[in-house]
Structure 1
């Protein structure tokens, strides 16, 4: 039998070089095949013809980012809970360690969930999850159409 001279790192290196080659060939082929007809409309920010209003440095409410980060935090929790449940359910491992593994795993997961719950309680206490409700303003616009005409569409 022929023994391979390639180590595990060599295999990883071959995969990395293959990925780089695959991406490079794809990008080069795309640049050769694609049509090259730039015009004013193609070079604008939005190809739909919409004109931009203001600059790109507009201010956004920070709560959008906070909610996104909290969402990612709890998505990461699911990523860690699933493998834990698979390993924790291994009957041979649990019985082989005289149930010490089971107690360790359950304690570890309760600590993990407690820390995440603590983070959620912190975000809740700081009111990061509260949204500002819009204020309904009555318009001072005088319409020639009587308001009774809108009543059947209101509900």
Structure 2
């Protein structure tokens, strides 16, 4: 069962990284019309409060995607300390999603909300509030 959960989390994080990695990414969530808006939306953000990017900003097409990829590869490994580190990363990504919802064009709201929904489910799992079976096969 644990192996299934690890693989499901890994796959979902890779999928989310792909969603945010390029202009065709939102099409994975049924939003291909967002491709022309991608460059402008993902090129820069002012930085979310409480994150390392605060005040200096960042490029969501790089930092967001790398953090999701880092979680994908971490999910394949086990260990209580690793899950605690993942919990902190997910909490940071949720702050990032809240920030991006204020900065991105409104058309990206469904993409950000889908990402935020999975992150919240995964955080609940990492906190022990959700059974691991709730993550297997979920999107």
- TM-score range, shorter-chain basis? 0.3 to 0.5
TM-score where L is the length of structure 1: 0.30
Bigger-Rg structure (1/2): 1
TM-score where L is the length of structure 2: 0.33
Greater helix fraction, Structure 1 or Structure 2: 2
